[in-house]
Structure 1
Amino acid sequence: MSNNWILIETFGDAEPSVIGLGSSPKSFVPLHKLFRSASSRDDVLAATAQVLSGGLPLDGQVRDCHRRILAEPLRTFSGRIHGMWLWLGQRDETPPPRDPAGAWQFNLTKSTASGSNDLLDLYRVPRDERETQRALAGAFTRLVTNRDESEAMAKIVQSAPGTTHQAVWTVKRDDGELRAAHFSCRMIAEGGVSGTEVILRGITHDIGPAGEINIAPPPTILEHRVLEASTKEGEYRALVNLRTLNLLRWYNSDPAPDICWENLPDEPLPAIHPDDVPIAKQMSNALARERTNGVLRFRTLDGNWKPMTVDAVLVSLDQHTTAALVTLTELCDE
């Protein structure tokens, strides 16, 4: 632990824990297991509480006056602190550089995602292309997921408060570089304007070049291997939450063109035509027995409606959770 920055999560509903030591991921390690010394543990707990209550970085001395403690909060666009980098060392020591890390959250009730400038710095997103909120599916556009993708998607569908998840996935930054990133998150139930909402609070930690990290995965598919056949031209594949009919992510294809799905401020809200919602629900219910197909109209970027052929098949995310793998195909002009 000597001279390393410590990444601490403060997602809530549990005591703060360690999720990173230098560039090494940690699995929600309780502070008392990392700091054997009671005085060091107390100093870290006091610093964590101070940063959470005041919301400001910390640079001070600990009680024995021989050591220095630094803390840098990681906050979302809304200002909530999801964790912090913390360094504890001798007063004459120089702390090493910190890895990039950024806070983010998914509103699983509303199917939206929001990050932070730290996260978008990690992704190398240009300043004029940054959005404070978008559709949940947009959060996966830069990610090459690992074999645990089915597990992660099942947890999102179930949306059970208290659920945690950690994974090392590959991030394709906007400058084209592939980075290994450690994701840590916890689901929390929060009171919202329209009732209780389930929020997935998380931190992404850049742990190095993807090619140099053995646990950073190459592209893989869901373990049920329903996507072995390549997507044909004019087809667009997506994973859909059967409970809400919301898009979970585009899969093995680019997004369908002209369709609203990103939920950006200057675009119409993503939607299925109200008259077609009963058809979509009927298709969803029928998936328990057989694959289904139909024609549904989706809202377009210009505010109109675009009909597309929809073929859906049931896929198992885990033993208890299913979703729909949907293939969208543009209708041919007569």
Structure 2
Amino acid sequence: MAEMKSGRIVEWRRLSHTLSLFRVVARDGARFPSYEAGQYIALRRDDCLLTRKVKDGDQIRYVPDLDAEGKQKRGPVTHSYSISSAPFETAVENYLEFYVVLEQGQDGVLGRFTESLFRGIESQQNDRLAYVERIVGDFTLAKRAADFEHVLMVGTGTGLAPFVSMLKQLHRDASSGKAPPARYTLFHANRTHEELAYHQELLDIEASNTFDFVYVPSVSRPSTRDLADPQVGTGRASNLLRQVFGFPSKEPSVATAPTFPRNRPLELLQKRVDPAPTVVLTCGNPAAMADIGWLAAQTGMRFEKEDW
């Protein structure tokens, strides 16, 4: 059985009220296990506000788990997260990086792990967490995308994490003369420009031309600045992909109208995304992944997703 090791958070970058990037190192300076881009690791916090599951008709919700005195119980919680750092970054600098959202239920109850994480770091009272000394998962290019000419990645929100790990590693390998034979296209959507994690790094990778890569970022709550930015589109990732294949948006009356970045027009993407030699990999919002699965079935693309 894998050992539980002690770690600490050494870098915390707040992107918005509910989104952050952070880096973890081992407290004793130990090396992390080797891994492939796309894999995940289990993290644990010990001072989490605990909740319990309640079934309300067909709905499941979470409420605070109270003790005999009416106080919310505290205890350890373990949660698995995809690693957003690339394997070469961990090998050289010995950290793991993560892209996380402060989870919140319909009743406003915060996620147990992420509430502890955000509270502990931002109060500067608790930078510790534990991790399982084992990195696992089969959501990798070798397992899910081997022998395909085109790999279409669709990340919603923090579902970008495994893809940015893959793309950074591909860029590093290509810069060393090991360019991949396949071409890669990434759709990433979030609510605001600030929440587009790794945005400039992905633009730089695309501009480097070390391998065949196109990056399609979009925001669902565009500001005036976003609308003027030729490198950012608008709308949900799944609706942009629907437009590529000639399907109408899902729930068009409530969703931001899909528009492509002006320097990555629809015509370019329609020529690029031929369903026959394409595998679509998706991670993030379950509803968006289900819609992308439907699109894959309609067009004949191979469909792969990362489930939690």
TM-score (norm 1): 0.25
Which structure would you say has the larger RCO, counting Cα contacts within 8 Å and 6 or more residues apart?
2
TM-score (norm 2): 0.26
Structure richer in strand, relative to its length: 1
